[in-house]
Structure 1
Amino acid sequence: MTMTTDQEPGEAAGAVSASDTPVAADAERRLHPMSWLFVLLASLKQFILPLLALLVFGQGDRNALWPLIGVGVLALVSVWQYFTYRYGVADDALVVRQGLLERSLRVIPFARIHNVALQQSMLHRIFGVAEVRLESAGGQKPEAEMRVLKLEDALALEALVRQRGAAAVEAAPATSDAALLELPTGEVLRLGLVSNRGLVLLGAAFAAVSQVDRRVIPNLFERWGETLFGWAGERQFAATEYVLAAITFVVLVVLLLRLLSMALALLQYHGFRLTEHGRRLTVERGLLGRWRTSVSRRRIQAWTLREGLLHRLLGRRSLEIDTAVSEQGGQQRTLREVAPIATPDTCAGLVDHLLPKARWDRLEWHPLPAASWWRLWLPTLPWVAIGTAVLTWRFGAWGLLLLAWLPWAAFKARQRALRAGWSLGPELVAVREGWLDRHWRFAEIDKLQATQLVQSPVDRRCGTATVWLDTAGAGAMSPPLRIRFLPLAQARELHEALTRELARRPLRW
């Protein structure tokens, strides 16, 4: 028997009435009667295509039916889980019992639950059920994963976590859900337009096909090239016409990828709604399948405000957060996008509302030293040199054309250096970087885990240093929170000031 009984301070949350929480404190509940089907489908997800291929193309070979024995075993295990899984509430904890021969009892204090995620696929919505995951800070897997509950029971459990999580501290007054942001269809289409989801999906499809036959992709491009150039040769294209045909082809591919990105954005973000209940944020989104997750505001560790070139053309930005819940297997398990796309004023309003003491609009920005542009340009040199050497060896003098990239890289580095800056306020530390693709990265000082003063060999030569600021829950794609290329004396002064401030303040999760 295993038991989890760790305690930590609770969090303020909105109170709910007893009618909102049908999960009684002295009752144990089962999963939905059809939960075995969803557990079975989840187990078969990676085997279903090979099984179908064996059944369809097995050509009457009885050996192709042997994998069905494994399917039967998985079905029995799924039914077994339904009959042996119970959950209920005891005091201020969720109690999960499972197993018959090997029993396990898991007690999860509500104060430990940092994130509640509800997911619904099309099949979930047909049966009126949802999959529930309860996450804690830094866990490599969910504290509890329930496949599946009735939708009303899932929502009641979410409300119960919100209510009981406030038991360790004074509860916030009861409030109704307040909508902070809703994305109409037009905004969702803009999100697809500025994103690269179509390119990512296409790359994943090519990778999957390559696993089956590595010659499929080269053969596909070879046949396409033969068809295209054969058609152009029949019409006796000149060099200029070949160039125009190539440009037209590239534009067509880009447009198709953008249309695919817009379709994917509709599937993922249709009906996006950000709401606030007390001190807890909830996001719900999705067209065919619905995804709902919530997190306490006090669990937010850092913020990222992004603005790409297309964002600026459309007058939009995006706002993301890092929370004290890790990711597993590269998959997002917690709320990350507060505003997938919104106007700059809307993003600034969200920051001011959620961080009222930070005074985001009053930050005093300090630019980096103007001479630091060459430090941003320096990493380009070895890559251009290697690329030029390879292309020259393969194509002769034409490979030297790659050297034309260096002036452009120098110009881009100058623009990045002019825009880069940092700010330190009473409650907030922030950095900004980028030129064509810009971002602002900031965190409350109370949420910093540690500070580090780093000098590379180039820094020691130039008398500069970088101050690194660590926070919990940073994603793999999140930009670093760092202040680069500071004069050594200034970097030491900043590092010592932040270190003293961290020692004076308690760490807030």
Structure 2
Amino acid sequence: MYPGPVYPAPGYRYVPPAPPPPVRFSVGTHRVHWATAPLRAFTIMIVYFVLLGFPLLMTRTSDGAAVSFSPVVLLRFLIVSLVVGAGAVAAGLWGWLGLRFRIEGDDLVVENGLLRRRVRRIPLSRIQAIDVVRPLVTRVFSLAEVRVELAGGEQSEIPFRYLGRRAAGDLRAELLARAAGLPGHTPEAPERPVYRVPFGTLLGGLVLRLPVIATFLLMIFSLVFLIAFRELAMLAVALPALLGLIRAVIAPMVMYANFTVAVSPDGVRLRYGLLETRMQTVPPGRVQAVSVVEPSIWRGPGWARLDVTVAGYAGERQALSSTLLPAAPRAVVAQLVALVFPGTNFDAVPLLPASQRGMTVDRADGAGTDDVIFVARHGWLCRRTDIIAHARAQSVRLTVNPVQRLLGLATVHVDAPPGLVQVAAADRDLGEARAIVESTALRARSARAASGDTAHWAARQNQAR
């Protein structure tokens, strides 16, 4: 017979199990998650089936018209698949066993290889950003990839594919803590949410752009012409326009969905992504320059985009990580700029217009500076306000093109590390341009001397207190 429900004894109190202790990567040598090996082997097999496997299964008859299968073809396919599968498993195990890493003091030590070992020691002060990326497949297995972006060098990215989700967070927290000069067991710093981009704002920001609107109208016109006159040649116009809309609207929407910005003592934290989620952490002082982008249609609802240059990103990674806010009210963008460059208000910096003899169309363009930042505004259909902190300036230079030489004008460039944001004040009178170069160089030297090195920033703050 059923004994009936069992009730706990009087006074019983359920105590949930304690969470497992965090992983200390400064103790011992560590490897990535064991599931990395089968995932890599699975990826190799998928590529094999797509490029070679299915063609091996198909054979044509003597007339070359029909496709048929034979026992010989099937046997050949099985033999080749077993050989490739064994190679894929070996490659997965080789890659998993060959990667080891640990934290020694203020250095991240990465070892690669089995037969020939290669040891790389990276000072934590070179870390520019730490990204935690979770592609769709790895989210099923609760795995994550940690990408450590370094300053300069050809190999400026160190990827750890893949770690457990909890281990990935522990590695990120320990790297950020030690780079700030704190003990490795320091818990993750709390964060303060700044803004979450609503879906309507993101969609509106992607759609309300002149190139997107023009491409959409071109596609509609070609489809109407195709239906009305039965002209199939218009597909050569409609299909590229459709692909362009997918790339300009659908792809960024999937990438920047659920975009959230938060600030914490260890830097700016970004979370975004629909299919592939990404958590990006930019430590304090690593943002080199920012640009407030305001397309003409966005000025009606008062929206803006915030682009950024962070040293260490290169190539495709630079393009993927150059947006600090895809679309937001301009007041929110100004607030985030003030958080990135503390104590600044770029709207309060007086801008001197360019020379009347220049080629500038919009007389709202101009450039100005204060003791902390240099600001340059330009553009008419798409207005850009480029901002760089004097402490982040790499050089200040003056250039003159042939037209400017005839008009007695020059352009002043305040150079940041290579990136999306390039700060320049165009069409200045030659004497004014030389004065801007001298004063900006002096301000940059003073700012660098006052700010000092950004390494161990938390330890210096604690000593100052």
Q: Which amino acid aligns with 1:131?
A: E
* Pairwise CA distance, 1:50: 2.1
The residue that corresponds to 1:141 in the other structure is: 155
Structure 2 counterpart SS, 1:163: helix
Is 1:440 aligned to 2:385, yes or no? yes
Q: Which amino acid aligns with 2:376?
A: V
| Conservation of the 8 A alpha-carbon contact between 1:132 and 1:145 | yes
Gaps of 5+ in 1: 1-17, 203-222, 233-245, 377-413
The residue that corresponds to 1:22 in the other structure is: 23
Q: Equivalents in 2 of 1:81, 1:259: separation in Å?
A: 36
| Conservation of the 8 A alpha-carbon contact between 2:156 and 2:312 | no
Give 1:340's match in structure 2, choosing from 326, 342, 354: 326
| Conservation of the 8 A alpha-carbon contact between 1:446 and 1:502 | yes
Higher alpha-carbon deviation: 184-193 or 52-61: 52-61
Give 2:120's match in structure 1, choosing from 85, 101, 106: 106
Q: Equivalents in 2 of 1:100, 1:468: separation in Å?
A: 48
| Conservation of the 8 A alpha-carbon contact between 1:189 and 1:265 | no
| Conservation of the 8 A alpha-carbon contact between 2:377 and 2:384 | yes
Give 1:188's match in structure 2, choosing from 198, 202, 213: 202
Structure 2 counterpart SS, 1:419: coil
The residue that corresponds to 2:426 in the other structure is: 484
Q: Equivalents in 2 of 1:253, 1:25: separation in Å?
A: 52
In 2 relative to 1, CA 490–426 (structure 1 residues): closer, same or farther, beyond 3 Å?
same
In 2 relative to 1, CA 335–351 (structure 1 residues): closer, same or farther, beyond 3 Å?
same
| Conservation of the 8 A alpha-carbon contact between 2:133 and 2:144 | yes
Q: Equivalents in 2 of 1:88, 1:495: separation in Å?
A: 45
Is 1:35 aligned to 2:22, yes or no? no
* Pairwise CA distance, 1:438: 0.9
Q: Equivalents in 2 of 1:197, 1:130: separation in Å?
A: 36
Structure 1 counterpart SS, 2:285: helix
Q: Equivalents in 2 of 1:286, 1:54: separation in Å?
A: 35
* Pairwise CA distance, 1:473: 3.5
* Pairwise CA distance, 1:45: 7.6
If each structure's helix is expressed as a fraction of its own residues, which one has the higher value?
A: 1
Q: Equivalents in 2 of 1:46, 1:440: separation in Å?
A: 45
| Conservation of the 8 A alpha-carbon contact between 1:195 and 1:261 | no
Q: Which amino acid aligns with 1:468?
A: H
Q: Equivalents in 1 of 2:429, 2:257: separation in Å?
A: 48
| Conservation of the 8 A alpha-carbon contact between 1:23 and 1:88 | no
* Pairwise CA distance, 1:505: 4.3
| Conservation of the 8 A alpha-carbon contact between 1:193 and 1:259 | no
* Pairwise CA distance, 1:362: 1.4
* Pairwise CA distance, 1:322: 0.5
Q: Equivalents in 2 of 1:253, 1:85: separation in Å?
A: 43
Q: Equivalents in 1 of 2:152, 2:281: separation in Å?
A: 16
Q: Equivalents in 2 of 1:70, 1:295: separation in Å?
A: 41
Is 1:312 aligned to 2:299, yes or no? yes
The residue that corresponds to 2:371 in the other structure is: 426
In 2 relative to 1, CA 172–356 (structure 1 residues): closer, same or farther, beyond 3 Å?
farther
- Count residues in correspondence: 411
Following superposition of structure 1 onto structure 2, how do residues 383-394 of structure 1 map, counting pairs within 5 Å? none
The residue that corresponds to 1:506 in the other structure is: 448
Q: Equivalents in 1 of 2:238, 2:55: separation in Å?
A: 41
Following superposition of structure 1 onto structure 2, how do residues 61-460 of structure 1 map, counting pairs within 5 Å? 68=81, 69=83, 72-167=86-181, 175-194=189-208, 228=227, 230-231=229-230, 261-328=248-315, 330-332=316-318, 335-372=321-358, 375=359, 414=361, 416=362, 418-460=363-405
| Conservation of the 8 A alpha-carbon contact between 2:310 and 2:322 | yes
Percent identity, please: 22
* Pairwise CA distance, 1:109: 2.8
Gaps of 5+ in 2: 1-18, 61-68, 217-221, 455-465
Q: Equivalents in 2 of 1:371, 1:47: separation in Å?
A: 63
Q: Which amino acid aligns with 1:126?
A: V
Q: Which amino acid aligns with 1:278?
A: P
* Pairwise CA distance, 1:26: 1.8
Higher relative contact order (CA 8 A, sep 6+): 1
Q: Equivalents in 1 of 2:98, 2:211: separation in Å?
A: 41
In 2 relative to 1, CA 173–123 (structure 1 residues): closer, same or farther, beyond 3 Å?
closer
* Pairwise CA distance, 1:426: 1.2
TM-score, length-normalised on structure 1?
0.71
Following superposition of structure 1 onto structure 2, how do residues 6-17 of structure 1 map, counting pairs within 5 Å? none
Q: Equivalents in 1 of 2:423, 2:357: separation in Å?
A: 21
Structure 2 counterpart SS, 1:426: coil
| Conservation of the 8 A alpha-carbon contact between 2:126 and 2:150 | yes
Structure 2 counterpart SS, 1:114: strand
| Conservation of the 8 A alpha-carbon contact between 1:133 and 1:145 | yes
Structure 2 counterpart SS, 1:80: helix
* Pairwise CA distance, 1:282: 1.4
Q: Equivalents in 1 of 2:127, 2:426: separation in Å?
A: 36
The residue that corresponds to 2:51 in the other structure is: 50
1:455-500 CA distances to partner (integer Å, 9 max, x unpaired)? 222222111111111111423xx4x311111111111111122233
In 2 relative to 1, CA 260–91 (structure 1 residues): closer, same or farther, beyond 3 Å?
closer
| Conservation of the 8 A alpha-carbon contact between 2:112 and 2:119 | yes
Q: Equivalents in 2 of 1:501, 1:332: separation in Å?
A: 28
* Pairwise CA distance, 1:503: 4.0
Structure 2 counterpart SS, 1:370: coil
1:195-231 CA distances to partner (integer Å, 9 max, x unpaired)? 69989x99xxxxxxxxxxxxxxxxxxxx989964644
The residue that corresponds to 1:472 in the other structure is: 417
* Pairwise CA distance, 1:314: 3.4
If each structure's strand is expressed as a fraction of its own residues, which one has the higher value?
A: 2
Q: Equivalents in 1 of 2:202, 2:157: separation in Å?
A: 33
TM-score, length-normalised on structure 2?
0.77
* Pairwise CA distance, 1:447: 0.9
Q: Equivalents in 2 of 1:300, 1:499: separation in Å?
A: 19
Q: Which amino acid aligns with 2:37?
A: W
Q: Which amino acid aligns with 2:431?
A: A
